[in-house]
Amino acid sequence: MDKILVGLKRAVDYNVRIQVKSDGSGVETDGVKMSINPFDEIALEEALRIRERGEASEVIVVSIGSSESQQQLRTGLAMGADRAILVESGDVPDTLSIARVFKELVDRESAELVILGKQAIDDDNSQAGQMLAAIWERPQATFASEVVLDGDKARVTREVDSGLETLEIDLPAVITVDLRLNEPRYVKLPDIMKAKKKPLETIAIGDLGIEAGPRLEETAFEPPAGRQKGIMVDDVAGLVAAIKDKGLV
């Protein structure tokens, strides 16, 4: 295999407590730590391990968004990716446009495997990989907890409601990854310095023939309702009485 494409989305760090803007127009991001979407970080780690086993020659990380996404791409390069592509867009594209961007890059780079996180922790859509496979007309294996390559095939163990399912798919293909696939490596300072010299290409989304801008309009945001204070009881009889008062039994 020659090339693997990996998507890296810029998202609010998972350790940050999300705050809705006072006017309800969105999520507060000013001064908030931004990181690589955790599922995408796992996808990159898997691609790097495939390359290190000699089963691929190049790992290319891709991000779609503003110029600020260069930060996440540089982190991906520090982890070990060979080069990066930023598809610059003023507005955050809808999921179908994101899939079309990856299809254009797949054709341009002649990539044989695209590995994505199963979802982003900000919108939780879990759609990009499936849409890419559809418009690329190639096999897909989602929610992967194990990936084994064998020539022009991939054997993927995926998590389903009833347990584990193993699929064998032909390459080229799209794979989306789950949390238990691997643990991403720690980025060291020398790797960060080396990443500054690695190539990072910027492409305007319009240059790929894709119209920027969301197809869905987000009209309002609001935080979830606060939890009600619990009730303290002295004994089992008090617990039963409290449950009966709420009409639960």
Give the CATH number for residue 76. Answer: 3.40.50.620
* Pairing state between β 58-65 and 113-117: unpaired
The identity of residue 214, as a single letter, is P
Percent of the chain topping pLDDT 70: 98
Across the range 195-199, mean pLDDT stands at 91
- Range scoring the smallest mean pLDDT among 56-65, 66-75, 232-241: 232-241
pTM (predicted TM-score): 0.84
Between 221 and 76, name the one with better pLDDT: 76
DSSP H/E element including 97: helix 95-109
pLDDT at 211 over 90: no
State mean pLDDT over 78-97: 90
Residues with Cβ within 8 Å of residue 42, at least 6 apart in sequence = 117, 177, 178, 179, 181, 182, 184
10: region left, alpha or beta (phi > 0 left; psi from -120 to 50 alpha): beta
Domain limits at 90? Answer: 3-245
Domain count of the fold of the chain: 1
Write down the pLDDT at residue 214.
61
Q: Which of 23-27, 116-120, 180-184 shows the lowest mean pLDDT across its residues?
A: 23-27
Looking at the predicted structure, is the pLDDT value of residue 151 above 80?
A: yes
Alpha-carbon distance values, 41 to 77, 117, 182 (Å): 11, 8, 10
Answer yes or no: are the C-beta atoms of 38 and 15 closer than 8 Å.
no
